[in-house]
């Protein structure tokens, strides 16, 4: 089977849904063959590992009921909420992450949408970052309108981040306060405004392997530019605090299958990799991924950027932007 898929990809053809489901069922030594194939496909994009970073610019008090999220008012994760940072704080975070090796910086706020006053402050921060750093600027503000997407682009943002989280069929099990259609509409609005789109999800929410494949095919259909893959790190006080963790091999299989479904896209491993992959973190970059999120996440700590950059060098890869 793997040889047939390899031939298919070499001939410029896409793998289909049944083939992807079969790949997710592989076990034992065949997994290593899958990882090797995915790594070869990744290698066609070059040896650079795309590095980005985020700032949780506004934390907590989110009215949405996402079951995985520590920032939701429906959950009791014990985080300390805070209002939107001022421009100077956001700029200083951007400068710090540029110094650490990031080439892209994403401003993230909690909530489904953004108040006008906060939105104007974010536009100001974008202009400052554009002027005072060499970073590409990504924005994650929840649901967008055509007007807000255009304003973000005019201010200097180059990319919108907006995760689908999981498959459309499984989404109702993790959130009921907004719809999958709303999320897809935001992705379309961002693309129509000329912005790149960063869109992926979280694995380990209790979804099936089929749900993960469905998500990958939806992303292929939407033709997004970058796919962040988070792995659930259960947080006390959320409904998913007792979720059964995925095994490292299941995580690596998922990364590899995403690479084969999305052979020319940036696939970035983000939150939860430290806890779930443990000593096997480096294998994510040998199983199809070509990007990492550096530093801390929204409400949980990550590794130091220096550790990740050293890992990249140890693998014979190069830290730096990937353009596909």
Rounded distance between C-alpha atoms, residue 159 and residue 180, angstroms:
20
Q: Which of 121, 259, 268, 273 is catalytic?
A: 268
Secondary structure (3-state) at 59: strand
Angle between helices 209-222 and 17-24 (to 10 degrees): 140
Burial 132-171 (b: 16+ CB within 10 A, else e): ebebbbbbbbbbbeeebbbbbbebbbbbbbbbbbbbbebb
Catalytic residue among 42, 52, 59, 62: 62
Catalytic residue check, 138: yes
Q: Which of 59, 106, 199, 284 is catalytic?
A: 106
Among candidate residues 42, 52, 59, 66, the one labeled active-site is: 66
104 is catalytic: no
Q: How far apart are CA 310 and CA 318, in angstroms?
A: 10
Residues listed for the chain: 324
Is-catalytic flag, 62? yes
Closest CA to 9 of 46, 42, 48, 33: 42
CA 104 to the chain's CA centroid: 13
SS3 of 82, please?
strand
User: Among this protein's residues, is 106 annotated catalytic?
Assistant: yes
**175 part of the active site:** no
What is the three-class DSSP state of 250? Answer: helix
Name the active-site residue from 138, 175, 199, 284: 138
- Looking from the CA of 129 toward its CB, the CA atoms found within 13 Å total 34
Of the candidates 52, 59, 69, 284, the residue annotated as catalytic is 69
Choice among 198, 259, 273, 284 that is catalytic: 198
Q: Among this protein's residues, is 198 annotated catalytic?
A: yes
Contact 67, 174 (CB under 8 A): yes
Which residues are tagged catalytic?
62, 66, 69, 106, 138, 198, 268
């Amino acid at each position: 089977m793997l040889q047939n898929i390899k031939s298919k990809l070499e001939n410029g053809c896409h793998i289909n849904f049944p083939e992807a489901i079969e790949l997710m069922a592989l076990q034992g030594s065949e997994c290593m063959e899958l990882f090797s194939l995915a790594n070869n496909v990744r290698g066609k994009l070059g040896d650079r590992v795309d590095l980005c970073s985020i700032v949780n610019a506004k934390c907590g008090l989110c009215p949405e009921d996402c079951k995985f999220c520590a920032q939701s008012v429906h959950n009791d994760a014990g985080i300390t909420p805070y209002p939107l940072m001022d421009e100077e704080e956001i700029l200083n975070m951007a400068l710090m992450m540029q110094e650490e090796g990031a080439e892209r910086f994403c401003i993230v706020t909690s909530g489904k949408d953004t108040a006008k006053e906060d939105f104007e402050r974010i536009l100001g921060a974008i202009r400052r970052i554009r002027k005072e750093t060499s970073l590409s600027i990504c924005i994650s503000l929840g649901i967008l309108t055509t007007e807000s997407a255009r304003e973000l682009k005019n201010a200097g943002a180059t990319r919108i981040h907006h995760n689908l989280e999981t498959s459309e069929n499984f989404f109702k099990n993790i959130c009921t306060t907004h719809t999958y259609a709303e999320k897809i509409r935001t992705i379309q609005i961002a693309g129509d405004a000329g912005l790149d789109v960063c869109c992926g999800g979280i694995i380990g929410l209790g979804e099936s392997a089929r749900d993960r494949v469905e998500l990958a095919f939806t992303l292929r259909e939407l033709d997004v530019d970058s796919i962040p893959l988070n792995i659930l790190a259960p947080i006390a006080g959320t409904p998913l605090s007792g979720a059964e963790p995925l095994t490292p091999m299941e995580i690596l299989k998922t990364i590899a299958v995403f690479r084969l479904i999305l052979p020319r896209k940036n696939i970035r491993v983000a939150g939860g990799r430290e806890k779930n992959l443990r000593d096997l973190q480096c294998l994510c970059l040998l199983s199809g991924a070509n990007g990492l999120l550096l530093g801390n996440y929204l409400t949980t700590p990550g590794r130091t950027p220096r550790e990740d950059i050293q890992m990249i060098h140890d693998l014979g890869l190069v830290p730096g932007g990937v353009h596909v």
